Amino acid sequence: MLTNKLIRPSVSIHPINRSSACFSTYPINRSSILSAKLKNHDLLKHQSYINGQWVGSSTSRTFAVKDPATGEEIGSCPDMNLVDLKLAIDAAKKSFSSYRYSTPASRQSYLRKFNQLIQSNAEDLARLIVAENGKCWKDAMGEVNYAASFVDWFAEEALRTDGTIVPSSTPGIRHLVIKQPIGVVAALCPWNFPAAMITRKVAPALAAGCSVIIKAPAETPLTALALAELAHQAEFPAGVFNIVTTQSATPEIGKALCESEEIRKLSFTGSTGVGKLLMSQSSSTLKKLSLELGGNAPFIVFEDADVDRAVEGAIACKFRCAGQACVSANRFYVHKSIYAEFASKLTKKVSELKIGSGFEEGVLIGPLIDERSLEKVSRHVRLAKEAGAEVLIGGKKVDGVGHFFEPTVLSEVPSGVIDDEETFGQCN
């Protein structure tokens, strides 16, 4: 039988400070990364993209984009409102009236060019992801390739929107099933995969003949806008691909997209609570929804498991993107006969993880996205300790700038203390 013992990694390795050998230094001047180090300077955008044009907010308000590794401002974007959203909806609706009748071959051509542009600008896109999201270079490059794969796949699927002939029970009658684009699609995208979650949502819509409106995450809008620039270079018709950026009006814009009669489908990746709210708000229009909501994945190690392989798998499943992925292992259940060995080997592996700026060679653990995430991970560690858990390694915020937390392993965590809530950080 499985024990109810939990092992919880947090966000760093051992109690460390900036002088620790495991902590990397990083460049102070982020603007050099976002400008001088970009090969394609056209990718760095600070305006929203509506109807084929780069536009600001009707109120001229902007919000700052910050590097989670330093807390420094690395850019700004329009803080758009409902007036600006209406422009995007109108543009998407108008473009859909013609784009829906485009040939599958032409849509495939747009997507193929989009895919080629993503691949040829992969390093620049990865730089933007590291700068505003904080994930390490390896993870960022992996995400760009992942993002391109969706576009590549659906470029081919564009040619396969064929129908079906269904046998009829009535003589002389033939039933035809035809596939048609549903209409304007809204995509509410998360910050943890700022490139891949956009392409996963919009590529099938574009392949089907739908126009799209993307509500970019306020934490990572620069990657979204870079993709808009590449879509522009791929020559999608004006109004087919739109991106709205906002910080202060996120709830209002989300609600407006749900309640709009012009939006026929909405795709959302995020928390279960917000997913429920969006479903409720969409009920008046009977809108079709695609919801990918929060996770709470267990990592189970059985008695006959290869402990070394289990530890390697645990590191990969937990610490990718600093634990900020819905598929990250959130709690570890280990058979009592190998519990001590697994805990010891996992703790040793965690102690070898290098944390710091994602631009630095060898770094595997970047910062958490913001102060709120840092507070949540700290709260989980505190609650576990108060309930009697033992901190095997880590357990606290790293001193200095940035949202860094030590990768943490906790043992003997009582059931029901923190294992029923997604940590979304380096705490297991």
pLDDT of residue 428: 76
Residues above pLDDT 70, as percent of the chain: 92
Environment class of 29 (CB within 10 Å of its CB; exposed 0-12, middle 13-18, buried 19+): exposed
DSSP state of 78: E
- pLDDT reported for residue 33: 55
Tokens matching residue 249? 């009006």
Q: Return the structure tokens found at 25.
A: 């230094």
- The SS3 assignment for 202 reads helix
H-helix segments, 3-121? 30-31, 82-99, 104-120
| Host H or E run for residue 377 | helix 371-386
**Active-site residue, 292 included:** yes
Tell me what pLDDT residue 308 has: 98
Q: Quick one: pLDDT at residue 7?
A: 36
Nearest partner of 82 among 226, 343, 259, 301, judged by Cα: 259
User: What pLDDT sits at residue 1?
Assistant: 31
What is the structure's pLDDT at 21?
32
Q: Which of 413, 139, 398, 376 is nearest to 428 (CA)?
A: 413
Ranges in the chain annotated CATH 3.40.605.10:
30-292
CATH architecture of 30-292: 3-Layer(aba) Sandwich (3.40)
What tens digit of pLDDT does each residue of 390-402 get?
999 999 999 999 9
Task: Express each pLDDT in 53-66 by its tens digit.
Answer: 999 999 999 999 99
Q: What is the rounded CA–CA span in Å between residue 100 and residue 89?
A: 16
78 CB burial (10 A radius; 0-12, 13-18, 19+): buried
* pTM assigned to the model: 0.90
SS3 sequence, 302-334? CCCCCHHHHHHHHHHHHHHHHHCCCCCEEEEEE
Q: Are 339 and 3 in contact (CB under 8 A)?
A: yes
Q: Which two tokens stand for residue 343?
A: 């805990």
Asked if 69 and 358 count as a contact pair (C-beta separation under 8 A), the reply is yes
> Can you tell me the mean pLDDT for 90-119?
99
**Confidence (pLDDT) at 385:** 97
Report, at the CATH architecture level, how domain 297-411 is classified. Answer: 3-Layer(aba) Sandwich (3.40)
Quickly state the pLDDT bin for 201 (edges 50, 70, 90).
very high
Please report which confidence band the pLDDT of residue 27 belongs to, taking 50, 70 and 90 as the band edges. Answer: very low
DSSP string, 135-150: --HHHHHHHHHHHHHH
By mean pLDDT, which of 28-37, 41-50, 69-78, 281-290 is the weakest? 28-37
Backbone angles phi, psi at 38, to 5 degrees: -80, 130
pLDDT in tens, 319-333: 999 999 999 999 999
How far apart are alpha carbons 323 and 316 in whole angstroms? 10
pLDDT of residue 11: 33
Q: How confident is the model at residue 4 (pLDDT cuts 50, 70, 90)?
A: very low
Enumerate the CATH 3.40.309.10 domain ranges in the chain, comma separated.
Answer: 297-411
Q: Could you give the CA distance from residue 224 to residue 213 in angstroms, rounded to a whole number?
A: 12
Helix (H) or strand (E) holding 27: none
The CA-based angle 62-357-26, given to 5 degrees, is 100
What is the spatial distance between Cα 115 and Cα 145, in angstroms, rounded to a whole number? 10
Measured between alpha carbons, how far is 197 from 368 in angstroms, rounded to an integer? 19
Q: Cα(261)–Cα(252) distance, rounded to whole angstroms? A: 16
What is the crossing angle of helices 221-233 and 122-133, to 10°?
160
Residue 287 structure tokens: 């809108």
Q: Judge whether 130 and 115 are in contact, CB under 8 Å.
A: no
Task: Check pLDDT > 90 for residue 377.
Answer: yes
Rounded to the nearest 5°, which phi and psi values hold at 334?
Answer: -125, 135
Among residues 262, 292, 341, 421, the one annotated as catalytic is: 292
The average pLDDT across 370-395 equals 97
| Token pair belonging to 351 | 């102690």
148/122 Cα distance (integer angstroms): 9
Query: Average pLDDT of the chain?
Result: 92
Has residue 109 got a pLDDT over 70?
A: yes
pLDDT of residue 26 exceeding 50: no
* Torsion on CA atoms 421, 328, 358, 74, rounded to nearest 10: -50
Identify the DSSP state of 21.
T
The DSSP annotation for 216-266 comes to: --SSSHHHHHHHHHHHHHTTPPTTSEEEE--STTHHHHHHHHHH-SSEEEE
- Determine the Cα–Cα distance for residues 119 and 319; give it in Å rounded to an integer: 26
- The DSSP output letter for 8 is B
